Amino acid sequence: MDVPSDALTNFRALARQLDDDALVALGNRGLLKRALKALAKARPEIVGYAGETLLLTAFGYEVHLTMDPAAARCSCPSTKTCQHILGAWLSLRAESEEPEGSAEAEEAGDADQDASNHPDEPPGPEEDPLKALISLPEEELRAWGGTKLLRQALREQSMGAVAKLDEHRPGRVLLALSSHEVRWLSGQPWQAALCSCHAKEPCIHRMLAILEVQRQRGGRVRPATSIDAQPRGETVRSREELVPAVREAVLAITERGLSRLSRAQAARIDALATSAHGVDLPRLERELQGLAGQFLALLAREAHADSESAALQLARILALTEALASGRAGLVGLHKGHFVRAGNLELIGLGARHLSTRSGFVGIVCYFWDLKSKSFCSWSDVRDKSLSDFSPEAIFHAPGPWQGCQSPASACVSRFRLQGAWKSSAGRLSGRQSTRYQGTGKSDWSQVSAFDDWQQLKQDLCESFLESLRESDEFAQLVLLRPSDWCEQGFDEVQQEWRATLLDSEERKLPMIVPGNDTHNLAISRLATMPTAPSALLGFLRLEERGYSLLPISCLLGEQIHSLTLPAAPGLTSRRAQPKLAAAVLAHSPPIEQGASALAETCSTFLQALVDHCERGTRAPMQVEALASGHSLEAAGLTLLRRPLQALQDAEGNASSRAHALLHGLHLAQRARSALLIRS
């Protein structure tokens, strides 16, 4: 039976869009490998065309292909997409890529010429298939996937779930949370999208991808989460009651002053955090838990207690409650313990670090690079340090956390595949035993996005340092650097920190600072004894009043990956006594020549004056120096401080109104200082 030339052209054009990733989404990687192996021995043949179906014989079976790849059928016993169907598509793709001059190419060229005379032909693969999604009404989406699926997608989108549209490969949408890829093919109905979750029916990934395309391309507004929205599960109190209660508690504490804290106030904040969990406000819950911890540290006179951090957290909570009350989208947040299926992940180990928090928790955090989503992710095991039987070093070298994994230490220096992985919205991997680990070789840092230009580094990451109400991304300042060399290494006995200056290809300088404490003493010992500069460094980029600096986590020296704060073998301690450390390092380096501008220093002075006033309480008179420095900033062009300054002056005698103006000024002054430090 003859095949119409225009039909054959359409099938070959469709086959050209089905690359290996699309075929894996139709079947799986194992089926694709078997199809490629069978294709090397025999090639499927086209035997006919009937009812818009292309008939082929592939490896002894009859395959029926349609313009919807997921609807293809085969005469073999399999009821799903099989290797014979994949082999048929591979054969058509190979025919469409035949070199010019061959008989197949001439036949395809004639078919293309004939097809150009048909105005009803589907659009070619060069057209963007996402255009058809922009104007889809919600009624059509509801009829396709159901009301429950649409509501679930809208909820995830309102809480900050995002997708990345591939501008270089039209029709592809990568979901950041689950790492699933959804693909639309040119000339196909929008309902025939391919998803890497292999679901044939409408799934949450397809629905969320459509909503994100409409938001990013069509200007659709991200759905707001109103304060009176119905929360999930049982509630301690309603959201309408909780948010004003938090606001009232924060203003009362500010009015009284941080110097007059009591355990009753810390207990009240902790109770409000529990209530926030009950009404499903995880972002507010974490802020309140952090504030309660700050209060307990201040009451216990602990060394790490910081009045400035507590005051800024009070200001942030007040701003968050006002934003929630106005229905701001994306500020409700997600529970960090909420994991979703991420399918199979290809990961590259980047090392690990010893974690010790101010709230009394210790553990390890392992970092990886996701080859599919081109982003960082992590796995951690953190517990209360009061547990005598828990050792982060022992966990680092113990079997796990996934089935088939020798230890976290081995995963951090390997390239591997996780089958059946689970992942949270923050990029954290679950350590559940149902996930299978399959090592595929050594870790190759050359496949990880890295910076070798410090100027470009600061430009790309400056936005992540600006204070905002949106919950910070723990990977926002995580970077991989490739320095050309380093210099000025040494230990500063005054500041009790080890320093080195990293140089890029243009010999621009970036300080690397490692604090001298129990957590980082092993890192200092290792860095101080390295004969040459590491070829790559993984670490957190910090922004302080002295300027930018890097806090290293791991490094690549030769072909070996060093997790700087963790022992290389079990049984070794990761801590060193400070006297031994001081004897092992070089002479201290000169101060960092990266000071903030005069305007940033004035802003820091103003911020400190507001913190001092927050310690005394708003019932005490405002210091003249604070108003003077604030007016200096306003005169220099920082008009955003005009409103809180005016409110502080107008509210003289009204402690509650002054508390609101003070916290408002703290929040804005912190944002202004961050912006000035970035530009300095």
Give backbone dihedrals phi and psi of 24, rounded to 5 degrees, phi first. -65, -40
39 vs 61, 71, 78, CA distance in Å? 14, 22, 19
pLDDT digits (tens, 9 = 90+) for 476-487: 889 999 999 999
- In this structure, are residues 296 and 348 in contact, taking their beta carbons and an 8 Å threshold? no
The pLDDT value recorded for residue 592 is 38
Task: Taking residues 341-369, report their average pLDDT.
Answer: 90
Whether pLDDT at 166 is above 90: no
481 phi and psi angles, rounded to 5 deg: -110, 145
How many beta carbons lie within 10 A of that of residue 70, not counting itself? 18
Instruction: Give the highest mean pLDDT range of 19-23, 242-246, 412-416, 469-473.
Output: 412-416
pLDDT at 235: 39
Cβ atoms < 10 Å from Cβ of 434: 11
Give the pTM. 0.70
Q: How crowded is residue 499: how many other Cβ atoms within 10 Å of its Cβ?
A: 21
Nearest to 540 by CA among 464, 620, 480: 480
> What is the pLDDT at residue 579?
35
Question: Residue 601 is which amino acid?
Answer: E
Q: Are 408 and 352 in contact (CB under 8 A)?
A: yes
pLDDT, one tens digit per residue, over 497-532 is: 999 999 998 999 999 999 998 889 999 999 999 989
Q: Which tops the pLDDT comparison, 632 or 547? A: 547
pLDDT computed for residue 237 by the predictor: 62
Residue 554 neighbours by CB distance under 10 Å: 27
Mean pLDDT of the chain: 81
